[in-house]
Chains A and B, each alone.
Chain A
Amino acid sequence: MQNKDIKRLSLILLFAPFALWILLLIMLPHIGMVVLSLKEKMAPRVYEYSFANYLEFLNEPIYWNTLLRTGSMSLLVTALALLIGFPIAYYIAKIAGPRARGGLFLLCLIPLWVSDLIRSFGWILLLRETGVISNVLLWAGLTSQPVEFLYNDVAVIIGLVYTVILFMIVPLVSTLDGMDNSMIEAGYNLGGNGFTVLRRIILPYAMPGIVAGCIVTFMLCAGSYLTPVLLGGKNSSWFTEQIYNQFITRFNWEGGAAFGMLLLLFTSLVIWLGLKLSGQTLANTVARS
């Protein structure tokens, strides 16, 4: 009996920090945001509950265009990151020798810990009119005057792919690492060619890693602020920028909260769809690391 009490007490003690964290920092703030987003300012300090903030979003094409643009570009970046990253992850996990493997993986990890700001800053130095690439092209005689590569969608996409691709590669490497090489050999012995083996054996096996990578990558893209703003310039029109404008520039917290909810609903929807379509769950993909 006493033993049971101790067990219960320790369970409560362990549950307390978890509950405080989730309740005070995740659940209550989000409920607060929903409530705020439903408030409409009638006069100073006078509010009424309505869907006005959401209606404003619907009535102003620039707002929902930005959200759609953010979403579609994030999907494109996710797809690119998967296409570019998968062969790299496969190389690290399956082809490189044991020593090279550790080294390459470490090389992948180091940029992961360098802040977004510095990575975007590096791209600015490379891509701008007076930057490295423009200068190299001039020097090589490939162009006669400096070229501006910054402040367009391509620059934003390059920067975003760069920022998120490691979050794709790392889960892929750890999933592919766990795959037995003999499975691949069996595929070949049964007469499959490289493509069949990839499609029928490797990809299904790597699915949890692929889904985990895609979820995190998509979420990071859609929620990123620095890369689009710094590389896309004044007209990057990223949705997080709209949220920032509502909150900090226009001091319209009600509108900003509504925009925040919309972004959250949108990313959740895409993540949910991704999980449903691939038959995975959040716990066996993102939480595996």
Chain B
Amino acid sequence: MLARKKPSPVLTGYRLYVVAFFIFLAAPLVSAGVFAFNDSLFPALPWQGFTLDWFFSDTEPKLGMFHDRRLLQGLYYSFVIAVFVSLLSVFVGTTNAFLFVRGEFPGKNFFYIMMVVPLVIPGVILGISILVLASDTANYMENRFDLELEFLRPGILLVVLGQFSFITTITSLVITARLKKFDASMEEAAFNLGATRARVLRTITLPFLRPAMIAAGIVAFLVSFENFNTTLFLVGSEAPLTITMYDRMAKVGSTPVLNAVSFVLMVGSGLLALLSVLIQRDKSAQ
């Protein structure tokens, strides 16, 4: 609107605003990343020279992240949790897509809203509600049947379930959008040629959905990896990385090793996000 009719000073001002916005967007990320390379015990100015110690040094006080056992463990737990969450949520997301695109059943609209709802429940509340239900069940089983169900106590399984509960909405929406674009005549042609249902699904429908499933899986992985609010209440002794980092930030105070972790995470999630965008783009080219 502004570009078309107004004289160019307005457009220049507009451009400057956009530039300022992207500086705002980049500033905290750049500062979180850059101090990882500062040869100082604190993530602050002045600049003391370039170092890679915060990644690779194996001695205190500058213990690098690749020698910090607790951080590495956090990274490992985050990875395990994210893998389970993405596999589960892509699976349920795919069945949901078929259910809502292909299925005809009473109350379909109502159930569709139910599918979207987890996305607008604050993460903290998902966390505590699942914690409460799991603990109640575990306590009941213990009191009534003298059964100790360890897996219902805070720990990896609960973290996976808590994250799965809202990430599935995201994967369902991504995969549903793709399935809606499917041309049904392709399946019909295959049926006419004598293919079985299972075979049509395997050779035609699922390959068509694959880019969306992979992209949804990557998104699920990233969201799981960075999740804090839901995880906070469900975490047991196997703390994922965000919790480990938060503990250190709140209790020990930050050292540049946290910047090093941030740097690695930013590069990692940047690459994964790029990958998912490329896969999605492939899809529109087909």
Chain A residues close to B by CB (< 8 Å): 6, 11, 13-15, 17-18, 21-22, 25-26, 28-30, 32-33, 36, 84, 87-88, 90-91, 94-95, 104, 106-119, 121-126, 128, 130-132, 135, 162, 184-185, 187-188, 193-194, 197-198, 202, 215-216, 219, 222-226, 230, 240, 243-244, 247-248, 253, 256-257, 260, 263-264, 267-268, 271, 282-283, 286-287, 289
Contact = CB atoms under 8 A, between A and B. Distances in A.
Given A22-B114, A215-B120, A224-B229, 13 more contacts: A6-B197, A14-B96, A14-B103, A15-B99, A25-B164, A33-B125, A36-B136, A84-B21, A113-B272, A115-B226, A222-B122, A226-B228, A289-B173
| Main secondary structure on B side of the interface with A | helix
B130 A29 contact: yes
Given A26-B165, A116-B226, A283-B109, A267 B265 contact: no
SS class, residues of chain A in contact with chain B:
helix
A63 B76 CA distance: 38
A198 B4 CA distance: 13
Contacts of A267: 120, 122
B54 interface: no
28 contacts: A14-B98, A17-B95, A18-B96, A21-B92, A21-B164, A25-B164, A29-B126, A29-B130, A32-B132, A94-B3, A95-B3, A104-B22, A113-B222, A114-B262, A115-B225, A116-B226, A117-B246, A125-B259, A162-B24, A187-B1, A194-B1, A198-B1, A215-B120, A224-B229, A282-B113, A283-B113, A286-B120, A289-B173
Interface in B29-66: 29-32, 35, 42-46
A84 B31 CA distance: 22
B279 interface: no
Interface residues of B, number: 91
B81 to A, nearest CB: 14
Contact of A18 (B92, B119, B122): B92
Contact of B229 (A135, A198, A223): A223
A128 B45 CA distance: 11
The 7 closest A-B pairs by CB, nearest first: A223-B122, A122-B28, A115-B226, A29-B129, A122-B32, A25-B165, A113-B269
Nearest to A131: B44
Contact of B4 (A26, A118, A188): A188
Contacts of B227: 115
B119 A286 contact: yes
A213 to B, nearest CB: 13
B141 to A, nearest CB: 15
Contacts of A22: 111, 114-115
B189 interface: no
A130 B228 contact: no
Specify which of A17, A87, A128 lies most central, judged by the most chain B CB atoms within 10 Å of its CB: A17
B140 to A, nearest CB: 11
A26 B117 contact: yes
B204 interface: no
A14 B105 CA distance: 12
Contacts of B44: 125, 128, 130-131, 135
B5 interface: yes
Contacts of B102: 14
B226 A18 contact: no
